[in-house]
């Protein structure tokens, strides 16, 4: 939410318009969720930046104008008036909505909030000589104070996203020991080596099983200061493959859950902006027993409950095949955001180089250099091919175990990875002028798209992701069929000299 849309303040008449309706709806939502034992938390990325016109309204506003990004300027939280507004606004919201669970804060992210949030604090006369950690701690302290005034039982979940590592100890030491928990991405900054290429995890991953040293260090600081620790994970899907409700890599998910339990971390956020669909993946975290030291127990219980005692062993073999294959994913931050993995068989083929650059979780085009990032093209194709092979084996083992709709979804996921491999091979063949290889890959993509279409048509979950909505719909698969036919026709004309 955006705080200025929920709270009124006499000093800022432009804030809070329509807030009565929003507060009334929030009360209804909190009451509905309470029936099922669910608490509602408000995502606080605050205070949001304002345009120059806001600060020009009067001298006091000018006095807390902070660093800028584009055409917006921070409401400088080093100024006591901004902290007063932040504290009072949260108190107002939590006083008006009984039972509201708490807040979830990010103090350094994409949005400009405090002057340190986008690393431009040197532009602000109040913040330029302050440490980033002191600003971050102060903002969180202020929001917690307002929340607790409105509801003494509410909790703040503080996300440590890009907090400066050298200042983490200082930040944690300044935070209250009550009403808050500190959260770190479990697998963040973990080193990996796949296909001989060294990389470091950034953002979120299922193929990389945490926790890593970065998260462990922060959780150790939490224990020293008496503050509960939390882990941020991706339990169901990730940007490695976001256009499906879940990825059936249960061995990887279960090992991560067990590792967290053995680390003494029992509070977990199971997804970020991506969907987190009810699935066996979520059941892993629910079914994990206290003190369980390996993943075998939880996976055996889960397989038996879902598929029955007779089919459980084969399901376990399939989950392992999916997991072993997925562990080869050619992970990099660029790859997960720019690659064709979200589109798979739907991404068109281009017989001539387009020159278009892949866009972030958008259109991958034929930009293989962006897809592969550090990985050589052949290595990228080999690794994603190993993922496809693992899924092919998992699907084979799931025959007669899974119901048709579930098995078809797993087959569609396999097609995504196989398509990524073949698209990469097609682009490399095109760039070296290998017409026969281009034809072979185009035929494979054509047949794959034809097989993919009825699966997508029958399952509206495929192609959808909660923050981007539909990446593709069945009609887009038919366009891929036409794309492949056009490419093949053009290649035939080249070969015959027409």
Task: State the Cα–Cα distance between residues 238 and 480, nearest whole angstrom.
Answer: 25
Q: Where are the beta strands (DSSP E) in 160-252?
A: 180-185, 191-194, 197-200, 229-232
Of 274, 281, 275, 277, the C-alpha closest to 248 is 281
Q: Tell me what percent of the chain is helix, strand and coil, each rounded to the nearest 5.
A: 50, 10, 40
Cis peptide bond N-terminal to 440, omega within 30: no
pTM of the predicted protein model: 0.93
- Residue 486 tokens read as 């056009």
Measured CA angle at 386 (ends 382, 389), to 5 deg: 130
Give every CB contact of residue 350 below 8 A, 6+ residues apart in sequence.
365, 366, 430, 487
Measured CA angle at 342 (ends 340, 346), to 5 deg: 70
Residue with tokens 């016109």: 53
Question: Could you tell me if 61 and 114 are in contact, meaning their C-beta atoms sit under 8 angstroms apart?
Answer: no
Question: Could you tell me if 487 and 349 are in contact, meaning their C-beta atoms sit under 8 angstroms apart?
Answer: yes
> Phi-psi bin for 126: left (phi > 0), alpha (psi -120 to 50), beta?
alpha
SS3 at position 223: helix
Of 158, 332, 177, 317, the C-alpha closest to 250 is 317
Q: Which helix (H) or strand (E) holds 75?
A: strand 72-75
- Residue 131 tokens read as 């440490």
Question: Could you tell me if 285 and 233 are in contact, meaning their C-beta atoms sit under 8 angstroms apart?
Answer: no
Pairing outcome for strands 180-185 and 155-159: parallel
Q: How many CB atoms lie within 10 A of CB 198?
A: 9
Question: Could you tell me if 47 and 9 are in contact, meaning their C-beta atoms sit under 8 angstroms apart?
Answer: no
Q: How many CB atoms lie within 10 A of CB 489?
A: 12
Q: What is the DSSP string of 420-485?
A: HHHHHHHHHHHHHT-HHHHHHHHHHHHHHHHHHHHHHHH-TTTTEETTTEES--HHHHHHHHHHHH
pLDDT in tens, the chain (498 residues): 999 999 999 999 999 999 999 999 999 999 999 999 999 999 999 999 999 999 999 999 999 999 999 999 999 999 999 999 999 999 999 999 999 999 999 999 879 999 999 988 999 999 999 999 999 999 999 999 999 999 999 999 999 999 999 999 999 999 999 999 999 999 999 999 999 999 999 889 999 999 999 999 999 999 999 999 999 999 999 999 999 999 999 999 999 999 999 999 989 999 987 877 889 999 999 998 888 889 999 999 999 999 999 999 999 999 999 999 999 999 999 999 999 999 999 999 999 999 999 999 999 999 999 999 999 999 999 999 999 999 999 999 999 999 999 999 999 999 999 999 999 999 999 999 999 999 999 999 999 999 999 999 999 999 999 888 999 999 999 999 999 999 999 998 876 655
pLDDT of residue 494: 74
Angle between helices 296-307 and 312-326 (to 10 degrees): 120
Question: Could you tell me if 147 and 90 are in contact, meaning their C-beta atoms sit under 8 angstroms apart?
Answer: yes
- Residue 485 tokens read as 């036919």
- Residue 280 tokens read as 């066996």
């Amino acid at each position: 939410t955006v705080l200025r849309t929920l709270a009124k303040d006499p000093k800022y008449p432009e804030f809070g318009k329509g807030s009565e309706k929003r507060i009334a709806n929030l009360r209804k939502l909190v009451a509905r969720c309470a029936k099922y034992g669910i608490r509602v938390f408000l995502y606080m990325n605050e205070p949001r930046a304002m345009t120059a016109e806001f600060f020009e309204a009067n001298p006091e506003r000018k006095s807390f104008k902070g660093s800028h990004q584009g055409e917006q300027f921070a409401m400088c939280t080093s100024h006591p008036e901004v902290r007063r507004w932040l504290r009072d606004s949260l108190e107002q919201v939590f006083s008006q909505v009984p039972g509201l669970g708490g807040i979830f804060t990010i103090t350094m992210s994409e949005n400009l909030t405090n002057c340190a949030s986008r690393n431009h604090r040197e532009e602000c006369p109040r913040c330029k000589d302050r440490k980033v950690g002191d600003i971050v701690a102060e903002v969180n302290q202020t929001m917690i104070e307002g929340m607790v005034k409105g509801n003494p039982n509410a909790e703040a979940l503080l996300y440590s996203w890009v907090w400066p590592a050298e200042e983490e100890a200082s930040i944690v030491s300044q935070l209250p020991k009550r009403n808050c928990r500190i959260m770190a991405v479990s697998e963040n900054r973990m080193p990996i080596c796949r296909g001989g290429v060294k990389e470091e995890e950034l953002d979120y991953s299922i193929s990389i099983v945490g926790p890593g040293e970065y998260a462990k260090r922060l959780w150790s600081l939490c224990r020293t200061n008496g503050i509960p620790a939390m882990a941020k994970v991706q339990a169901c899907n990730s940007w490695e493959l976001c256009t499906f409700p879940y990825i059936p890599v249960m061995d990887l998910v279960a090992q991560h859950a067990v590792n967290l339990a053995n680390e003494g971390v029992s509070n977990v956020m199971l997804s970020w902006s991506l969907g987190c669909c009810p699935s066996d993946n979520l059941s892993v975290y629910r079914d994990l027993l206290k003190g369980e030291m390996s993943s075998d127990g939880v996976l055996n219980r889960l397989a038996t409950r879902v598929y029955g005692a007779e089919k459980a062993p084969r399901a376990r073999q399939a989950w392992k095949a999916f997991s072993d294959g997925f562990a080869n994913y050619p992970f990099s931050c660029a790859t997960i955001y720019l690659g064709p993995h979200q589109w798979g068989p739907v991404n068109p083929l281009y017989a001539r180089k387009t020159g278009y650059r892949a866009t972030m979780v958008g259109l991958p085009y034929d930009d293989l250099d962006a897809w592969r990032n550090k990985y050589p093209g052949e290595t990228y194709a080999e690794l994603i091919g190993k993922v496809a092979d693992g899924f092919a084996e998992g699907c084979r083992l799931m025959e007669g175990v899974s119901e048709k709709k579930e098995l078809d979804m797993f087959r569609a996921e396999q097609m995504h990875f196989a398509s990524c491999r073949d698209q990469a091979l097609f682009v490399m063949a095109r760039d070296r002028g290998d017409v026969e290889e281009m034809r072979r890959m185009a035929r494979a993509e054509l047949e794959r798209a034809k097989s993919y279409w009825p699966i997508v048509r029958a399952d509206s979950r495929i192609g959808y992701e909660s923050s981007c909505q539909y990446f593709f719909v069945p009609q887009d698969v038919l366009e891929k069929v036409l794309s492949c036919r056009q490419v093949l026709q053009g290649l035939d004309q080249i070969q015959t000299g027409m």
